[in-house]
Amino acid sequence: MNMWLMVFVMFMLGNMIFVSKHKHLLIILMSLEFIVLSIFFLMMMYLITIDYNMYMLMVFLVFSVCEGTLGLSILVSMIRTHGNDYFQSFNLI
């Protein structure tokens, strides 16, 4: 029961950081990866308790790595064009 509570606290902490820290893109990307990590732990615990194979965890890890790579490429291109990762200097128009 304590592991389920720990994963829930991890998920909520990641969501709080994602909502409150919206100044830097790097902090937002790190909080998203923290949320993905907590969801991975949740899926792992659930699949272990029902004695199911871990194939879906591998698919989830592949998609989370692709999401992280895409976020880092956006961060690098933003730093190259604007010089920093502030959302204030990033204009969408």
Mean pLDDT, consecutive 10-residue stretches, the chain (93 aa), reads 83 88 81 90 88 86 91 86 72 57
> What pLDDT, on a 0 to 100 scale, did the predictor assign at position 90?
62
Buried b (16+ CB within 10 A) or exposed e, 29-65: bbbbebbbebbebbbbeeeeeeeeeeeeeeebeeebe
Instruction: Report whether 33 contacts 68 (CB < 8 A).
Output: yes
Q: Which domains does the chain have, with CATH numbers?
A: 2-82 (1.10.287)
Residue with tokens 């790097």: 26
Give the pLDDT score at 88. 66
pLDDT at 91: 62
